[in-house]
A and B are shown apart, each in its own frame.
Chain A
Amino acid sequence: MKDKPRRGRPKGATSFARVSLQDLIDHLGPNASVVVGKKWLDEIGLTLEAPVVSSRSIKTVADEPKEEEKIAFSISSPE
């Protein structure tokens, strides 16, 4: 009987890698935005802020005034 193909993460494989903060700064610059785990943020005592940039973008699009549709008409007068 054949073995069933195994599913899931192989034993010992990980999703994370360790990297020094300085290496990241050197590579991305001090103002870069990076993705980190929320749980890790909690562990180091940082509170999560709302993503300011994206919310502003959504607000801008939502608040953009729609171009008013005009009814086409003409007015003519007797000479």
Chain B
Amino acid sequence: MFDKLIGQPKVKSRLTFFANAKKSRGRIPPLLFNGAKGLGKTEFAKEFAYGLERRLMEINCATIRNDEQFMEQIFVPYIHDKEVTVLFDECHRIPVKLTDLFLTAFNTDNKKKKSVAYGDYMLEFDFERQTYLFATTDMQKLSRPFKDRMTEINFAPYSPEELGEIVKLRLDWVDFRDEVIKDISMTLRGNARSAVKRAMEIEMFCDTYNHSHFGREEWETLCDTLEILPFGLTPLEKQVLLILKERGACTLQTLSAVTGMERSAIQQEVELHLLREGFMRIDGKREITGKGHKVLDRAI
């Protein structure tokens, strides 16, 4: 079912389990895909739907204003009485009234159909013909009752080897030399979407310079051109490390003053990756670590 997709072995095994169970039990419980951006939630949802020989309808929940609009534009024309897999992307943005309706529809009883009264209508959720998937990057924003009705499928960051495979799969006509694929995968921050984007950049590079190979020299040229930094550091992260190196331990207020960024923006956009990778530590003040020094030396 997931032959074309690399990584996420646990996700694959759980989804395959549900797909097989559907053959005997007829229905799949509503599934909640949980994970950071770029971990392949949508791609897995697509392959899952296709494996069930169904269309996938992907809805951007940020654009749902109210329950009435959802019923008129989506449920009645595309879901009701249809065979379809529906993915509610960024489901923490679903309006409260619609969430309440789903709470009734997705009660954990084992019925294959569920009729829910909505205004003057009786809506029918047919779980044999419809599969409901929800995806979010902000699990904590979902209400407890809503989460309780879902079966969680957690997406993990990709290993460098898996990311290298994704890049190579996209560029099967390119001869990667000098073990450069390792260096490439180390800049992708565990993110499959970044791997796909990097593959596109390499493809553009090879097309432009008429190369069918990509080695150390080509990689360094591409890094210089596109400002790709070691370990996938962003220019802002590099700037913060540089400030910490030059000034020593700093408060968040100092970093905010020097960079001109809001404190919350530094915390959310910059510090998370630096802390996760161990390039920085917070012990009252912000400090660069030995690992951070090494990375910075390579980035300068």
Q: Name the distance in Å between B25's Cβ and chain A's nearest Cβ.
A: 22
Q: How many residues of B are counted as interface, with CB atoms below 8 angstroms from the partner's CB atoms?
A: 20
What is the minimal beta-carbon distance from A9 to any residue of chain B, in angstroms?
A: 56
Alpha-carbon separation in the docked complex, A33 to B227 (Å):
68
Cβ distance B269 to chain A, nearest Cβ, rounded Å? 25
* A-side interface mostly: loop
> Which residue of chain A lies nearest to B64 when distances are taken between CB atoms in the complex?
A71
Q: Is A72 an interface residue (CB 8 A)?
A: yes
Query: From residue 31 to 74 of chain A, which have CB atoms closer than 8 A to chain B?
Result: 69-74
B58 located at the interface, meaning its Cβ lies under 8 Å from any Cβ of chain A in the complex: yes
For the complex, give the distance between the alpha carbons of A38 and B78 in Å.
61
Question: Is the beta-carbon distance between A71 and B63 smaller than 8 angstroms?
Answer: yes
Question: Are A71 and B56 touching (Cβ within 8 A)?
Answer: no
Query: A76 near B63 (CB under 8 angstroms)?
Result: no
**What 0/1 readout, one digit per residue, does chain B (52-80) give for beta carbons within 8 Å of chain A?**
01111111101111000110011000100
B50: interface (CB < 8 Å): yes
Q: Which residues of A contact B73 (CB under 8 A)?
A: 70-71
> In the complex the two chains form, is A78's CB within 8 Å of B58's CB?
no
Q: Which of the residues A70, A72, A75, A78 comes within 8 Å of B53, measured between beta carbons? A: A78
Q: Does A77 contact B (CB under 8 A)?
A: yes
* Inter-subunit contact B46/A76 (CB<8 Å): yes
Q: Contact: A75 with B63, CB < 8 Å?
A: no
A residues touching B (Cβ–Cβ < 8 Å)?
69-79
B interface residues, Cβ below 8 angstroms from A: 46, 49-50, 53-60, 62-65, 69-70, 73-74, 78
17 contacts between A and B (CB under 8 A): A69-B65, A70-B63, A71-B63, A71-B64, A71-B65, A71-B70, A71-B74, A72-B62, A73-B59, A73-B78, A74-B57, A74-B58, A75-B56, A75-B57, A75-B58, A78-B49, A78-B50
